[in-house]
Structure 1
Amino acid sequence: MTRRVGFLVFDAVTLLDVSGPLEVFHQAARLGHPCTTLLISPHGGPVTTSNGVALAATAAPHDVGPLDTLVIAGADHLADPGPESPLLAVADTLAGQARRVASVCTGAFVLAGLGLLDGRRATTHWRHARELARRHPRVRVEPDALHIRDGRYHTSAGISAGIDLALALVEHDHGPDTARDIARELVVFMQRPGGQSQFSTALATPPARGDLLRTLTAAVLADPAADHSLPAMASAAAVSTRHLTRLFHTELHTTPARWVERVRLDRARQLLLDGHSITSAARHSGLGSDETLRRAFARHLGTTPTAYRRRFGTTRTTAP
């Protein structure tokens, strides 16, 4: 069976959001899994990407027909000011004709704008995760994930994460051996060691809606190493520990302890990149001990503090 994969593109689209996943599907076809890829734009014809490269001969939506997979690429303007009505209408039509629907980077704003992500888990570029959560509060935004599947909808993080998403789709269709062969051919990780939060220095959680929790979380962000135990925070907010826990669940979809740990982990990552030792990063972030820091890295990022600093502290290759 030949699978038909359509990419929804438009003027100012991010080229790598398109070319990265497209190459993964091309490699799947080269390995003997028939796949037809096509570029679709709201009006057909040429499209100019954000870096000026032209995508020629895109198909008009009425010429497409049913798709196995629809991939909606991203662009900066999809987050600000947001997708325009004609693009939303085209995406809605194409999504209704596809077996599964995926977005790369800010393409998630298109799916969210159509209400297709309501009540679902989703991700996007870490820089825009907070805005996606603010604009679409019914979407359960997870800013640290590289890609997420919820039902027939798949969303991925920023730009190059579209390759990770496409590899996951290929693995689902054709098995891990095919995905591994493609990853090897493209010289990329089959599964990256750690989450998207490696690339941000800000905690990208949805903002608290209420003044009480907003004031409390601001205090934690300002000084992560202070005493932020549940009793201490409840006392500072003049509420019971049970009520504070309920607020965290309702507004931030997590527990107070887990949220504080993520804030401290975010601070520890930045301290490591700034040259602090593991012991110093643990102490100044509020995580306390080397072992606590290592456990937090393993739990949330799937890597170690040493490996994280080695991978993201510099782009230089270590001399032999």
Structure 2
Amino acid sequence: MTMTRRVGLVICPDFDFMGLAVTSPFMVANRYAGEAAYDVHVLSERGGPIRAGLGVEVTSEPLADSPPFDTLLVAAGITIPQTSPDFAARLRAAAGAARRVAGLCLGAFTLADAGLLDGRRATTHWHFAPQFRARYPACHLDIDKIYVVDGPFWTSAGMSAAIDLAVAMIERDHGRDLAHKVARGLVMERRRAGGQAQHSAFLEFDARTDRIQAVLAYARRNLRLPLTTEALAAVACLSPRQFTRLFRAETGTSPAKAVETLRLEAARLMLEQSRLPIEEVAQEAGFANRERMRRSFLRAHGEVPRRIRNGAGPLAVP
């Protein structure tokens, strides 16, 4: 690596501090690369101190006075940002000189206000999907993804998804090995591909104790195994009866139903992001056969695996 890529994070007034976390993957990449792969700057419309939503001020450089950036990221707060015509014009000019531009969470509203997402696919936080669709009918909103890439424009869902987006950018720039090192350095539980749904089954279960969390993690890592109640109870070091009672108390569902949900989530991701034969997807996700997986999808989502694959469209090209 010999080229240093300039990265500019544009923060809006009342921005959420989580938005600053997107700079961490680039800084960690510099450490593992052993050189300045990225030169990161914090920007705002006019520069100077910008007040975050929690009241702390962050010093920023003016967007208009900065040299061109390779990558431009836009972070907002936890409410829909207000984009002035002047800011929209500055952002359009800066975006025109950048190789790629990203709207992080509600930062997608700022890009759309600047007219940068017209005719493109994008995503944003699921809670604000109705407002986004109403305000920007020319943008094709895909709310079931944690991040979306359409040409030079990237958008992410909630703020934590911006970390996944940044690691994906690093992989495109420098390859899988460096991206993997960055993910490990950030202690990410796993790298999430952009096609993953915003709602995680693992999070929905919301187990309170390490014992049940460990069982769920074991199940997700070993979906091809039978994963009977007896096998999971052994992982928890409990009798099947004790385990079933505790599992239901913490997750609100049975072990068998939880395993099916994890398998459906894994299968859906493979259907959307790979071209594995559907029979092989069924085996990888732990379903006995293709027909059993089809019935599970119909029961849970009202649609068959083939329709999910067809709806995913062509795979993104790195």
Q: Is 1:167 paired with 2:167?
A: yes
Normalising by the residue count of structure 2, what TM-score does the alignment of the two structures yield? 0.63
Q: Distance in 1 between matches of 2:249 and 2:140?
A: 30
1:1-320 superposed matches below 5 A: 1-17=3-19, 19-30=20-31, 31=33, 32-56=35-59, 58-78=60-80, 82-192=82-192, 194-198=196-200, 275-277=252-254, 296-300=264-268
Normalising by the residue count of structure 1, what TM-score does the alignment of the two structures yield? 0.62
Q: Kindly state the Cα deviation for residue 295 of structure 1 after the two structures are TM-superposed.
A: 6.1
Q: Kindly state the Cα deviation for residue 170 of structure 1 after the two structures are TM-superposed.
A: 0.5
Q: Distance in 1 between matches of 2:22 and 2:249?
A: 32
Distance 1:86 1:165, change over 3 A: same
Q: Kindly state the Cα deviation for residue 132 of structure 1 after the two structures are TM-superposed.
A: 1.0
Deviation by residue 1:160-219 (Cα, 9 ceiling, x = unmatched)? 111111000001001011111111111014423852122898xxxxxxxxxxxxxxxxxx
Q: Kindly state the Cα deviation for residue 130 of structure 1 after the two structures are TM-superposed.
A: 2.3
Gaps of 5+ in 1: 202-270, 282-289, 306-320
Q: Distance in 1 between matches of 2:173 and 2:249?
A: 39
Q: Give the AA of the match of 2:183.
A: A
SS of alignment partner, residue 6 of structure 2? strand
Q: Give the AA of the match of 1:26.
A: M
Gaps of 5+ in 2: 205-247, 271-283, 287-318
Aligned-pair Cα RMSD in Å: 2.9
Q: Give the AA of the match of 2:199.
A: S
Q: Kindly state the Cα deviation for residue 94 of structure 1 after the two structures are TM-superposed.
A: 1.4
Deviation by residue 1:20-71 (Cα, 9 ceiling, x = unmatched)? 1101111112223421111111111111111222212x11123201110000
Q: Distance in 2 between matches of 1:143 and 1:78?
A: 16
Mapped contact 1:124–1:157 kept (Cα < 8 A): yes
Mapped contact 1:61–1:94 kept (Cα < 8 A): yes
Q: Give the AA of the match of 2:71.
A: T
Q: Give the AA of the match of 2:252.
A: G
Give structure 1 regions of 4+ aligned residues with deviation exceeding 6 angstroms. 271-274, 278-281, 302-305
Mapped contact 1:195–1:300 kept (Cα < 8 A): no
Residue 315 of structure 1 is matched in structure 2 by: none
Mapped contact 1:66–1:97 kept (Cα < 8 A): yes
Q: Give the AA of the match of 2:118.
A: D
Q: Distance in 1 between matches of 2:95 and 2:105?
A: 17
Q: Distance in 2 between matches of 1:116 and 1:278?
A: 46
Distance 1:75 1:175, change over 3 A: same
Q: Distance in 2 between matches of 1:187 and 1:170?
A: 16
Q: Distance in 2 between matches of 1:294 and 1:51?
A: 36
Q: Share of identical aligned residues, percent? A: 37
Residue 266 of structure 1 is matched in structure 2 by: none
SS of alignment partner, residue 199 of structure 2? helix
Q: Distance in 2 between matches of 1:196 and 1:300?
A: 13
Count of aligned positions: 223
Q: Give the AA of the match of 1:127.
A: H
SS of alignment partner, residue 137 of structure 1? coil
SS of alignment partner, residue 115 of structure 1? coil
